[in-house]
Amino acid sequence: MAVVFGGRSNEHDISLISASHIIASIPKDKYDIVMVGITKKGHWFRFMGDPEMIKDGSWESCPDNLPCVISPDPIHKGIITFSGDDVSKVRIDVVFPVIHGKNGEDGTLQGLLDLAEIPYVGCDLISSACCMDKSVTHTILEQHGIKMAKWVKVLLCDSARLDEKCAECEEKLSYPMYVKPANCGSSVGISKVRDLEELKAGIKLAFAHDRIVVVEEEVIGRECECAVMGNTEPFASAVGEIAAANEFYDFDAKYNNAESKTYIPANIPEESSELIRQTAVKAYKAIGCCGLSRVDFFLTEKGEVILNEINTMPGHTPISMYPKLMEHAGISFAEQEDRLIKLALDRAGVDYE
Ligand SMILES: Nc1ncnc2c1ncn2[C@@H]1O[C@H](COP(=O)(O)OP(=O)(O)O)[C@@H](O)[C@H]1O
Ligand SMILES: [Mg+2]
């Protein structure tokens, strides 16, 4: 099998930590692991060094690294490695794409693996893409009666009539609002805005990241997350809670601020927890997710459950919510990885026993 890590998104560094944790946990008696790292610039290398070197990025300077690609041609299935004039191929039965965000969690890598006919862990092309794009997630889930924040979609082609679009936001939504690039992640490009001037600036900032922008009304509530695993009969974990150290769960609060805390299980009423778990599975099925996803919610004071987003390749670092919630359900980290790989093979109809 291959573990692919790194990638061009702003979550590159998180992917490195997730991947080294996953590689350390995958049962070696069952799987031979080929490590493939993608640099921030998008160059692919087969890495053959100590997996410990992945975590801090030092894998990139390993002299044994060889440029490689995954062939999209199923006849030449596998990883093709280039060494001077020599070209060699390693057969791959399954890929664990441990890449968060753009060009990894958004269906692009999944599309390549579909062409190659190589089974892979996690959501397929279309469900990955639908969860990555917050405007598509809104549209699909609302059709299934799943509540999300009130919102307005703004397109780059609306730029010439931005005043009109801002008036629409003000008419449909109250301040404060959150302005988000539809496809990003890690809170990058997101701003909380309190007036028209900030709204305009927020939309312009978001356009630097995407041509589709989602403006949402603020939901006042606790941030709760639920881990889901499975293909046709998904299992939902207990609910965890995030208490952000900053005003909202921005990039700094997520990755730098030790004051941000997670609670497992969340200290919320049993009925709220049950509603979150049921809604997580309903949303997972509505979008057609498979393998795994972490479904994020707000729980309001009145007990309303409002879905925020679905992450199809959630963080897998030792302190990440997804693996911790699954561990809480009695599934060890090694067992989680094994199950995820088997779900990938199952989905592809491969008999692995
Ligand atoms: N509508 C909203 N109401 C309240 N807080 C929000 C809203 N949207 C986003 N946030 C805050 O911003 C954070 C990041 O937004 P999110 O949509 O989860 O983006 P990302 O995909 O980057 O994680 C959330 O965890 C939450 O703290
Ligand atoms: Mg989020």
| Tens digit of each residue's pLDDT (9 = 90 or more) over 151-167 | 999 999 998 999 999 99
Task: Looking at mean pLDDT, say which of 98-102, 123-127, 244-248 comes out highest.
Answer: 123-127
Per-residue model confidence (pLDDT) at position 102: 87
Binned at pLDDT 50, 70 and 90, residue 227 comes out as: very high
**Is 235 in contact with 229 (CB distance < 8 Å)?**
yes
Overall fold of domain 131-135+139-145+220-347: D-amino Acid Aminotransferase; Chain A, domain 1 (3.30.470)
What is the residue extent of each domain of the chain? 2-120, 131-135+139-145+220-347, 150-217
CATH architecture of the domain covering 2-120: 3-Layer(aba) Sandwich (3.40)
pLDDT at residue 352 is higher than 80: no
pLDDT score, position 246: 77
Percentage of the chain beyond pLDDT 70 is 98
| pTM exceeds 0.85 | yes
Identify the CATH number of the domain defined by range 150-217: 3.30.1490.20
Predicted local distance difference test score (pLDDT) of residue 89: 94
Q: How confident is the model at residue 80 (pLDDT cuts 50, 70, 90)?
A: very high
Residues lining ligand 1, CB < 6 A?
149, 178, 180, 184-187, 190, 216, 218-219, 223, 244, 248-249, 296, 308-309
- State in Å: Cα 187 to ligand 1 middle: 7
**DSSP assignment, residue 11?**
T
Nearest to residue 338, comparing CAs of 94, 166, 51? 94
pLDDT digits (tens, 9 = 90+) for 321-334: 999 999 999 999 99
Is the CB of residue 229 less than 8 Å from the CB of residue 314?
A: no
Under 8 Å CB-to-CB from 112, ≥6 apart: which residues? 70, 72
Return the residue whose CA atom lies nearest to atom 13 of ligand 1. Answer: 249
74: CA distance to ligand 2 center in Å? 35
Residue 97 CB-half CA count within 13 A: 32
Higher pLDDT residue, 76 or 270? 270
